[in-house]
Structure 1
Amino acid sequence: MAAEDIRALDIAWIIERADEVRRTGSSLIANVLPVDKIDELNRVFQPLLAETVRIEGEAGNRGPNRYYVTPPFRPPWTDVSIIDNDIIMAIVSELVGADGVFCQLATDTPCQGSQYQELHRDTQSLFPEWEQETPPYQLAVNFPLVDCNPENGPLEMTPSTHLLTKEEALRRIESGEIPVQQVLMKRGDVLIRDVRHIHRGTPNRTDQPRPMVVLGYSRKWLFRPEVEIRVAREILEQLPLRTRKWLRFNPVFNTLEEAEKKEELYQCPTLVGSDLGSGRVGSDYEKMS
């Protein structure tokens, strides 16, 4: 275990980070992921982004010059030091349980000409009629493929808004009671966040894209039809048991070609509805003890 990964064994530190997410909606942790592997992801990502830009044009698929791209679930995207990182998984397990699920691998990239997004949540409340919020049930783990700065489209967040109804949170933001804060991250940093918090993307004013990866984790009982990870059996068989268990509710395909025929298309439910996924569960997962 690398020296920096010793944090994964510090139970008190893990609980502090999880409590920070519960209290503020997020925890920013420095130097978690290997920078050389982040740079390799960026290298293989650029052709995927270029193809999406070619198809979508300047209109983008997340607003002007902003692109949501789902990478194929194969190396280097399946590197367990990234998708099953000890530090990340210790905190995620504290928040949504060690029996949770890994259900999303995607990217969001503002390019030059992008605009401010509307302030929004990435999911609805579990029980909106109750007008109260619950403990965490759905998390996003974000990490950039390039260093973020004030000019290249950093994420903006609003602390503790996951504890409020959306309407009350927006009212307090509008009044200035709750600040809107930029999140500046370096390669290797990770942001673990409760997706109910109010946030937005900002304009990228540079001539270089700013890719941000999102790993989605949920409690085991939460079905998210708008996202899935399409897993080829040959990839699944190469993964450690813990990784396979976190993937257990995703569809399994006999070949990489079958797995990559259809990209997941995620639409934020609170903004524009959602598309139904296949919902298939591969029998491969049933073999695991």
Structure 2
Amino acid sequence: MTLSSATKPVQEQYDVPSIMAGIYGDGIIGLKGAFSREWVAQLGRELPELYTAALARPGGAVGRGTNRHYVEIHPEDISGFLDLVTHPWIVAVCTSVLGPNYKIVEIGFDVPNPGAKDQPWHRDFPATSETLVDRRLNSLAFNLTTVDVEEDMGPFEIAPGTQWDDPSEYDHGMFPPVSLFPRYHALAQRKLPKMGDISARSALTIHRGTANVSNKPRPVLVLGVDAPGAGHDEKHDLQFTRAYYEQLPQEVKDHLICRVVDELEPIMQGHTIEGLMMGDA
């Protein structure tokens, strides 16, 4: 497998205050046109094959509601992994928010298929005292769509600023009660990214996938990154074959929490979200 070259943005520097203000304010930021459409098209050809294989393997795909799945993958399953994790905007966001010793802990993809329904508003995991008390964010989720998202394809919705909301009434620390839904509906921003766009968000910011009433799936790549000690690597199993790992630049290896193996092992999904598997909003 060869590593392709992403289209690099013209600017080499990104404004740290703007990055911090976006993540700590709205809880989500983005960069349009970060990758070429050709690069994304290649990713779009790779993910369906991985999806088919995951669906055929016990534990290979996790339900995220009706006609929705999440699949965790091996980095070397996609040809653009190195391009992704060395993209200067992603590096800048990780370094600014999580510090210079940030760790990549997860790569996978979500697929809201035709017939997917509105998810309940939720966080991807409970907030810890580092956020609730110390007011620090210690993880980021990057999303990269493989298609031009249209209104009927079940766009992602997010309620800006809610990464700081008190979760004391939340079920399992993740699912707000229905009584709070009007607040999130009022705040909601619906995202319609195009091929090549990247977003970065706190997974604590209240969000949901909406109903896909089209006849097209909406695959989106997910990259999970932690500050040191955040601990989300315990729910994932990032693996590299020795041959692939040895060709990675040291500056990439420094940011990985992974296993190096002689042969890749099937991933048994460890990050299930029971409230999403049990139904829809």
**Which residue of the partner structure matches residue 173 of structure 2?**
none
**Which residue of the partner structure matches residue 120 of structure 1?**
122
User: Contact 2:30 / 2:198 at 8 angstroms: preserved in 1?
Assistant: yes
Quote the offset at 1:102 in angstroms. 0.2
d(CA) in 2 for partners of 1:14, 1:3: 22
**Which residue of the partner structure matches residue 71 of structure 2?**
69
Quote the offset at 1:17 in angstroms. 2.2
Instruction: Determine if the alignment matches structure 1 residue 266 to structure 2 residue 266.
Output: no
User: Contact 1:141 / 1:216 at 8 angstroms: preserved in 2?
Assistant: yes
Q: Name the TM-score, length of structure 1 as normaliser.
A: 0.81
**Which residue of the partner structure matches residue 50 of structure 1?**
52
Instruction: Determine if the alignment matches structure 1 residue 207 to structure 2 residue 209.
Output: no
Q: Which structure is higher in RCO with an 8 Å CA cutoff and minimum separation 6? A: 2
Higher helix content, 1 or 2: 1
Quote the offset at 1:51 in angstroms. 3.5
Structure 2 residues not aligned, in runs of 5+: 171-175
Aligned counterpart in structure 1 of residue 188 of structure 2, from 164, 180, 183:
180
Quote the offset at 1:222 in angstroms. 1.4
Show structure 1 runs of 4+ deviating over 6 A: 269-272
Residues 69-105 of structure 1, C-alpha deviation per residue, up to 9 Å, x if partnerless? 1233215345322122111111111000110100010
CA pair 78-40 structure 1, distance change in 2 beyond 3 A: closer
The number of residue pairs the alignment matches comes to: 263
> What letter matches 1:268 in structure 2?
I
d(CA) in 1 for partners of 2:7, 2:109: 29
**Which residue of the partner structure matches residue 239 of structure 2?**
230
Structure 1 residues not aligned, in runs of 5+: 273-289
**Which residue of the partner structure matches residue 251 of structure 1?**
259
User: Contact 2:7 / 2:36 at 8 angstroms: preserved in 1?
Assistant: no
**Which residue of the partner structure matches residue 198 of structure 2?**
190
CA pair 175-23 structure 1, distance change in 2 beyond 3 A: closer
Q: Percent identity?
A: 23
**Which residue of the partner structure matches residue 280 of structure 1?**
none
User: Contact 1:66 / 1:110 at 8 angstroms: preserved in 2?
Assistant: yes
CA pair 134-178 structure 1, distance change in 2 beyond 3 A: farther
Q: CA RMSD in A?
A: 2.8
Residues 181-238 of structure 1, C-alpha deviation per residue, up to 9 Å, x if partnerless? 2111001111110111000111211222110111000001111211231121111111
